[in-house]
Amino acid sequence: MKRVLITGAAGFLGSHLCDRFIAEGYHVIGMDNLITGNIANLEHLFPLENFEFHHHDVSNFVHVAGELDYILHFASPASPIDYLKIPIQTLKVGSLGTHNLLGLAKAKGARMLIASTSEVYGDPLVHPQTEEYWGNVNPIGPRGVYDEAKRFQEAITMAYHTYHNLETRIIRIFNTYGPRMRVDDGRVMPAFFSQAMQGKELTIFGDGSQTRSFCYVDDLVEGIYRLLMSDTVMPINIGNPDEITIGDFAKEVLDMVGNGTVSFHPLPVNDPKKRRPNIDKAKEVLGWEPKVSRAEGMRRTYEYFKTVVPNIQEVKK
């Protein structure tokens, strides 16, 4: 049985990855310091013999006994509300944490995949964003702690590949959503759903003309798995190119949940105004493209939020 270490395992994406690798027959070692993760996301795996959990911060030395075939590094705060609250930890997990795990991969002869992000493109001047675009990032702005942590993560990963011949993979993840998202994580989809379900105004920053492209979590996990098993070393965008303005997205949420209103607030500093992946490489190299429509993905996500958010609209009915 092959063994895989997944960091950030108790988080939204990490827990779905644990499920996938368990389903594929791996022995899964989940690791998380639970600073933003939720152990409840993994409780269904605890009875399994081929799953184990380590409560550990990868910014400190990482030891895993026995052989390792793969390491997937998904430990990091991933929403502005988190990384603005814990900026130092965000920088450390992207730098020290990545360094520790690359060292572990080298020692074990494991292949390592790192979770980078569309945020390496910053507030892009190229649209849609291709992997060749170097980005437009403010390193000392409020979002710089996350953006630069991920850019450094890519740089040191490529250095280990080049200098140590380590097998590495780099995924640049665009906006992803689905069950197990934290309601209070500050990202637009859980924010809109929870506000609408509680009868509150939907908070739109800016005038609503900025765009996002939402990828359902099952599609993302499939892309991650294919990239890990490929021989592609250079970064690959994984996301859904179906672009929508925030204003139009708010209308879709309100139509799904019930009537409601929106309120407009100033756009945060360095908030990207456009976000859409060019996924030509993913199609060509991995044979991957998203399958779940936004309408279907939102329906599934709404069903999840019904279990964690009181729905005022339904109570009124």
314 Cβ partners below 8 Å, 6+ apart?
Answer: 258
- Alpha-carbon span 295 to 72, nearest angstrom: 30
Residue 283: count of CB within 10 angstroms of its CB: 11
Task: Round the CA-based radius of gyration of the chain to a whole number and report it.
Answer: 19
Q: Which of 316, 184, 182, 305 shows the shortest CA–CA distance to 253?
A: 305
Q: What is the phi/psi pair of residue 57, to 5°?
A: -95, 115
Reduced to 3 states (helix: H, G, I; strand: E, B; else coil), residue 203 is strand
Q: Which of 107, 231, 232, 100 shows the shortest CA–CA distance to 156?
A: 100
Q: Which residues pair with 71 in a beta bridge?
A: 5, 112
Catalytic residue among 26, 70, 121, 146: 146
Place of tokens 């759903």: 193
Q: Which residues pair with 3 in a beta bridge?
A: 27
- Alpha-carbon span 171 to 227, nearest angstrom: 8
Do residues 143 and 270 make contact, with C-beta atoms less than 8 angstroms apart? yes
Do residues 11 and 32 make contact, with C-beta atoms less than 8 angstroms apart? yes
Reduced to 3 states (helix: H, G, I; strand: E, B; else coil), residue 264 is strand
3-7: strand order across its sheet: 51-55, 27-32, 3-7, 70-73, 111-117, 168-173, 236-238
Place of tokens 């190229």: 126
146 is catalytic: yes
| Residues classed as catalytic | 146
